[in-house]
Amino acid sequence: MLSGFFKKLLMAKQLRFIEGDVAIFNSTYLLYPASIHSHLRSLLNEGNSAKSGKLLYTLGFRTSKDFSEDLDKRFKVKGMESVALWRNIVELQGLAKINRISSNPDGSIIVGAISSLAKDDLRKNEKTKVVMDYFIAGFFAGIFTTIYDKEIECVETKCVCTGEAECVFILKPKTSGS
Ligand SMILES: [Zn+2]
């Protein structure tokens, strides 16, 4: 079933199918199985797992940064106003289902979500001992970096792949040295 947001994009002609290309705003979209992420992760892990997490994070960060700058120009929504829009986009992409977004007294933001990548991984493999959603953490960091117009970093502290009920992401401004 099409989500309401998906329908709205179609109506506003912001989701287009042109000569085999699927485009949302100016970005071309591909539909591929979530397992591409698990293959990418294992290929990167063959080298060095710490480095692989960083690469996936950077990949997520750059991917959402491109898109969010485009979105920012079109909608001119700033700060937390654009969070609802982002929630729709993350869910439309099938990346994660967002359960909650809350802010802490210390200014950090907590996002509770069910990662589609972790869920897919758990269906095929055993539970892991460590979190795995570096791509999504980077993706969220890219979104909030555009929203706040300063570099935000994101760390996943709990993950569905370890048997937790949801993945938990903590976002805060990047401090020098981190
Ligand atoms: Zn996770």
The helix-helix angle for 4-11 and 83-92 (nearest 10°) equals 100
Cα(94) to centroid of ligand 1, in Å? 14
Q: Quick one: pLDDT band at residue 47, thresholds 50, 70, 90?
A: confident
Residue 1 confidence (pLDDT) above 60: no
Is there a domain that residue 25 lies in? no
* CATH number, domain with residue 89: 3.30.1380.20
pLDDT in tens, 111-163: 999 999 999 999 988 898 899 999 999 999 998 898 888 899 999 999 999 99
Cα(104) to centroid of ligand 1, in Å? 20
Is there a domain that residue 9 lies in? no
Cα(111) to centroid of ligand 1, in Å? 11
Cα(100) to centroid of ligand 1, in Å? 14
Cα(71) to centroid of ligand 1, in Å? 25
- Number of domains forming the structure of the chain: 1
Both tokens assigned to 140: 């969220």
Cα(116) to centroid of ligand 1, in Å? 8
Q: Which domain holds residue 119?
A: 56-173
Is there a domain that residue 45 lies in? no
DSSP state letters, 77-107:
--GGGGHHHHHHHHHHTTSEEEEEEEE-TTS
Is there a domain that residue 39 lies in? no
